[in-house]
Amino acid sequence: MTTHILLLFLAGLALLGTFILPSLIRNQMVSLPIIYVAFGFVIFSLPLDLPLMNPEDARLDRQLMEYITEFIVIVSLAATGLKLDRVPSLKNWSAGLYLLGITMPLTIAAVAFLGWWWVGLAPASALLLGAVLAPTDPVLAANVQVGPPNEDLPEDEVRFGLTLEAGMNDGLAFPFVYLAIGLVDAVSIKDTLIEWAWWDFGYRIGMGALLGYLIGKGLSFLFFKFKDKMAEIRETEIEEGFFILAATLITYSVTEICEGYGFLAVFVASVVSRRVRYDDEAKQAEIESYEAADQVEQAVLGIFLIAFGGIIGTGGLRDLTWEGALLGLALLFLIRPIAGLIGFLPSKLPWVEKLALSYFGIRGVGSLYYLAYAHNSEAFPSIDGIWSIVNFTMLVSIIVHGLSVTPAMRWIDNRMGRPERT
């Protein structure tokens, strides 16, 4: 059997798993990402002569890592935005805004400081580590997010806040990745900071939000204008799946061409698209669009997580020092929870919800995208140690958060008097 046939077989198993496994492990402690990563670790540890993915040293693998994770994240962000039923406002979105406006900057600063002081990274590399590990993941956090659009169950603050945070912080962490890249060869720190503030932080965030709003409105109007015509030609479910994928890719690419943050634009566009029409037909279209995006995301994610397990099994942690491992553990169990609780000091939420929002800071695919992007910029001559820290942190997050999410959320729902979710 040739290698490519074996890889096709593994991809088929991953796709089959996305169909079968969710119903088998529902309400169980084990999560789908844990199963995929463990499977990849075992398979690639066997003497099967499988091609190894080595993003640390191989530029082609690193480029592939950047493109795959980029695609997974943008599709996930589209699905995440479609899930949010609440009308955007400071009051309705307060839980997520505390996490974005206070917790995330504190997390970046704390990780960057420890990366410099404790691990011994150069200042720019330490800032890169903080920026890469700061955003929570919209891909792996499905179990702590709100359900499909127009769900009968109300959106509680914990699930809504974590969903909103995961949807927006990928775009909002990007400026700090650019700052780290800019500081590597900076001649004048002052000039670098000024340019970063107005361009990477101001213009790119503003352009991402603006284009997301405009494109989301425009494509949604286009969709409903031609929906009836499409129905006359063929079944609309397939068309809606194609449309949501096309809309996501168009929104992302146009925004990137205009130098805005495509991640932010995709999320904003998906949120805005739900406000174009409010009739029953629109609600059904939202559900079908979400399901299409979710299916694409899960299919690609399963294959990627098997590959990630393979990376861990074939040297992905070889440059991990005990200082780096302790930093990863500190992020998950000290920095994020403490920064979260500080962020919610102005909030009147019950303490049990504050604790949940602070604890579930799941790290994942987005962090690997940022790191691959920064590495491909060729700005950082020595970055292997950062790869190992990020791989380790993501692995621990997948295991610990994956095992604890079901019992923890069940307990929280119990304490808050909410109906149990199945």
CATH code where residue 151 lies? 1.20.1530.20
Tokens of 143: 């179990």
- Report yes or no on 224 lying in a domain: yes
Number of structural domains the chain divides into: 1
Distance of CA 116 to the CA centre of its chain: 25
What is the structure's pLDDT at 282? 61
- Report yes or no on 400 lying in a domain: yes
Question: Does the structure show a pLDDT above 50 at 236?
Answer: no
- Report yes or no on 9 lying in a domain: no
- Report yes or no on 285 lying in a domain: yes
Q: What percent of the chain has pLDDT over 70?
A: 88
pTM exceeds 0.85 for this model: yes
Assign 11 a pLDDT band (cuts: 50, 70, 90): confident
What is the structure's pLDDT at 46? 82
- Domain containing 227 equals 29-415
Question: Does the structure show a pLDDT above 70 at 231?
Answer: no
| Mean pLDDT confidence for 286-305 | 79
In whole angstroms, give the CA distance from residue 314 to residue 319: 12
Question: Does the structure show a pLDDT above 60 at 217?
Answer: yes
CA dihedral 68, 74, 77, 79 (to 10 degrees): -90
More confident residue, 295 or 164: 164
- Report yes or no on 24 lying in a domain: no
| Mean pLDDT confidence for 90-97 | 91
- Report yes or no on 420 lying in a domain: no
- Report yes or no on 166 lying in a domain: yes
| Mean pLDDT confidence for 253-268 | 96
| 368-403: burial string, b at 16+ Cβ within 10 Å, e else | bbbbbbbbeeebbeebebbbbbbbbbbbbbbbbbbe
| Mean pLDDT confidence for 99-111 | 96
104-118, 256-270, 335-349, 375-389: range with lowest mean pLDDT: 375-389
- Report yes or no on 219 lying in a domain: yes
24-33, 171-180, 303-312: range with lowest mean pLDDT: 24-33
| Mean pLDDT confidence for 132-140 | 85
Highest mean pLDDT among 220-234, 239-253, 268-282, 368-382: 368-382
**DSSP track, 320-369:** --HHHHHHHHHIIIIIHHHHHHHHTTT----HHHHHHHHH-----HHHHH
